[in-house]
């Protein structure tokens, strides 16, 4: 199978640049050089926006399309089917998609029979507007309706508007084998659950992705084994809240262990953890298996207990700090990253100072930082006025970013002189003469190839010689 690469800059939660964190919603990315359709077959063009979960969904969509006989193109002007897999988490994520849809009008002009579809979270949230506004969209498919794509496309091809945004309580796509078009052949993602039951007051996800449901562990383990057989060396288990994974008798700690046991050569990561749900069992499992990376993404959102209460996060500042202490007690060398929102409803300067002091205290290895953007339908939109001035939200965000940048630089600089085990993922973006990969802590490490016969997928010990806030540079140990 031809492996495609993503053509544009993509947000990878595991390797972000802080400069990208003001708005983590990345550019859409299209598949490149994918399996070509035969002469009579049809071609699809897909762009993906949003979180890693969406990228994982795109791999399921690609699988459904492949079964329909579609090939893939990276040129929207040659596509019979143009799909945008969308994100609704913040207002500007949606704005980007609207602008993109306007730009796609030229595709319709050149090829009037091209079917244009919107998938994912925006589809669920905005079905009516998507169909009406400027008559741009032929097809709207929500996150639980990907199996219905063949029927929906057929309907759209006859000139009818076609929609399925029904949410399901059971759908996990467990039996659909994702097509890993956007992969480097070394690291991969496995979706272990869908939806979210947490109802944080700022968040639209429970509405767009529906109720939480976990996938059969056997299908997850089998998918991981297949990846190992194909030469992959790292899997990230994905879910909105992996700590509440539960399928019959299997909880998340047990699932993690099952995946870790597949091969000591397979690195295992997971995302996202919820501070209120992550338990000692998970931490002990991480400590027990060397191939489970010492890295936890543990979104704090705010450092103020009062704001956390308004956010309905289910923990206080003290609870969160105890959790971080517990993590460091059980896994002394564990990196923790986070998500932060500034300027949430009623946030005062005092609350903001508490967020800054939390950032200072926790020493996150990385953070995704956003200013609050009200999402229609959420509890916050219904109940609390969005009363922090935009300029103040942005100012507070800039302060958090500046502080986090400083801490990240300090963490990176402290690595100089140390040696770490790196899994090579491919060429460095800047130079074909350098390899890049990540260490256990999820730090990106770049080092010269120096004519060695190393290749992507190899583990290598690298001595760190230089650092910036987002990358480490080093040399292979002889």
Q: According to CB under 6 A, which residues from 226 to 245 bind ligand SF4?
A: 240-241
Minimum CB–partner distance for residue 205 and ligand SF4 (Å)? 4
Helix (H, G, I), strand (E, B) or coil at 100: helix
> What string marks each residue from 374 to 393 as x (binds ligand 5AD by CB under 6 A) or -?
-x------------------
Partner touching 294 among ligand SF4, ligand 5AD, none, CB below 5 to 8 Å by kind:
none
> What string marks each residue from 388 to 427 as x (binds ligand SF4 by CB under 6 A) or -?
----------------------------------------
Partner touching 412 among ligand 5AD, ligand SF4, none, CB below 5 to 8 Å by kind:
none
DSSP H helices, 68-148, are 91-103, 105-110, 121-132
Cα(276)–Cα(279) distance, integer angstroms: 8
With binding defined as CB under 6 A, does residue 372 bind ligand 5AD?
yes
Residues counted in the chain? 478
Minimum CB–partner distance for residue 22 and ligand SF4 (Å)? 18
Q: Please tell me the number of Cα atoms within 13 Å of 118 on its side-chain side.
A: 33
Cα(279)–Cα(353) distance, integer angstroms: 29
Partner touching 196 among ligand SF4, ligand 5AD, none, CB below 5 to 8 Å by kind:
ligand SF4
- Between 31 and 370, CB nearer to ligand 5AD: 370
Q: How many CB atoms lie within 10 A of CB 454?
A: 16
With binding defined as CB under 6 A, does residue 42 bind ligand SF4?
no
b/e map 47-75, b = 16+ CB within 10 Å: bbbbbbbbbbbbbbbbbbbbeeebbbbbe
> What string marks each residue from 182 to 211 as x (binds ligand SF4 by CB under 6 A) or -?
--------------x-xxx--x-xx-----
Q: According to CB under 6 A, which residues from 261 to 300 bind ligand 5AD?
A: 299
Helix (H, G, I), strand (E, B) or coil at 282: helix
Q: According to CB under 6 A, which residues from 325 to 354 bind ligand 5AD?
A: 339, 341
- Between 239 and 299, CB nearer to ligand 5AD: 299
Q: Please tell me the number of Cα atoms within 13 Å of 274 on its side-chain side.
A: 20
CA distances from 158 to 42, 113, 125, 161, 457 (A): 16, 9, 25, 9, 46
With binding defined as CB under 6 A, does residue 315 bind ligand 5AD?
no
- State the number of binding residues for ligand SF4 (CB under 6 A): 10
Partner touching 274 among ligand SF4, ligand 5AD, none, CB below 5 to 8 Å by kind:
ligand SF4
> What string marks each residue from 205 to 244 as x (binds ligand 5AD by CB under 6 A) or -?
----------------------------------------
Partner touching 90 among ligand 5AD, ligand SF4, none, CB below 5 to 8 Å by kind:
ligand 5AD
- Between 46 and 367, CB nearer to ligand SF4: 367
C-beta separation of 427 from 436 below 8 A: yes
Cα(473)–Cα(452) distance, integer angstroms: 17
Helix (H, G, I), strand (E, B) or coil at 196: coil
Minimum CB–partner distance for residue 368 and ligand SF4 (Å)? 12
Q: Specify the DSSP class assigned to residue 459.
A: E
- Among residues 312, 315, 313, 310, the alpha carbon closest in space to that of 326 is found at 315
C-beta separation of 211 from 195 below 8 A: yes
Judged by the rule CB under 6 A, the positions of this chain that interact with ligand SF4 are 196, 198-200, 203, 205-206, 240-241, 274
Judged by the rule CB under 6 A, the positions of this chain that interact with ligand 5AD are 89-90, 202-203, 299, 301, 339, 341, 370, 372-373, 375
């Amino acid at each position: 199978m031809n492996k495609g690469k993503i053509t544009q800059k993509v947000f990878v939660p595991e390797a972000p640049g802080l400069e990208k964190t003001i708005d983590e919603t990345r550019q859409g990315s299209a598949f490149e050089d994918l399996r070509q359709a035969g002469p009579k077959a049809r071609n699809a063009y897909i762009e993906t926006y949003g979180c890693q979960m969406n990228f994982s969904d795109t791999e399921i969509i690609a699988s459904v399309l492949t079964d329909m006989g579609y090939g893939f193109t990276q040129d929207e002007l040659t596509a019979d089917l143009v799909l945008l897999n969308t994100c609704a988490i913040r207002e500007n994520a949606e704005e980007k998609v609207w602008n993109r849809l306007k730009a796609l009008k030229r595709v319709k002009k050149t090829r009037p029979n091209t079917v244009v579809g919107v998938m994912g979270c925006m589809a669920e949230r905005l079905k009516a507007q998507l169909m009406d506004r400027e008559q741009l969209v032929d097809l709207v498919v929500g996150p639980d309706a990907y199996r219905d794509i063949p029927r929906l496309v057929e309907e759209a091809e006859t000139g009818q508007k076609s929609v399925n945004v029904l949410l399901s309580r059971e759908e996990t796509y467990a039996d659909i084998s994702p097509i890993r078009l956007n992969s480097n052949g070394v690291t991969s993602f496995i979706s272990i659950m869908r939806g979210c039951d947490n109802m944080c007051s700022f968040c639209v996800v429970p509405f767009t992705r529906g109720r939480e449901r976990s996938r059969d562990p056997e299908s997850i383990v089998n998918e991981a084994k297949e990846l190992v057989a194909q030469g992959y060396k790292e899997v990230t288990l994905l879910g909105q809240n992996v700590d509440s994974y539960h399928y019959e008798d299997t909880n998340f700690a047990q699932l993690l262990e099952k995946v870790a046991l597949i091969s000591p050569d397979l690195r295992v990561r997971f995302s996202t953890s919820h501070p209120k749900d992550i338990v000692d069992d998970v931490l002990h499992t991480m400590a027990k298996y060397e191939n489970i990376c010492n890295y936890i993404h543990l979104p704090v959102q705010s450092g103020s207990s009062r704001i956390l209460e308004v956010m309905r996060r289910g923990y206080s500042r003290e609870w969160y700090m105890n959790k971080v202490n517990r993590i460091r007690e059980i896994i002394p060398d564990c990196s923790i990253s986070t998500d932060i929102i500034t300027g949430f409803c009623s946030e005062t300067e005092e609350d903001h100072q508490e967020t800054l002091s939390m950032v200072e205290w926790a020493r996150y290895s990385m953070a995704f930082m956003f200013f609050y953007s009200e999402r229609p339908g959420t509890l916050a939109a219904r109940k609390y006025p969005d009363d922090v001035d935009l300029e103040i939200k942005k100012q507070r965000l800039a302060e958090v970013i500046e502080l986090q940048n400083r801490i990240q630089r300090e963490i990176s600089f402290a690595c100089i002189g140390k040696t770490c085990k790196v899994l090579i993922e491919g060429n460095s973006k800047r130079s074909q003469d350098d390899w890049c990969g990540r260490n256990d802590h999820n730090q990106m490490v770049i080092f010269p190839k120096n004519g060695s016969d190393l290749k992507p997928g190899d583990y290598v010990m690298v001595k760190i010689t230089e650092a910036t806030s987002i990358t480490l540079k080093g040399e292979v140990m002889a």
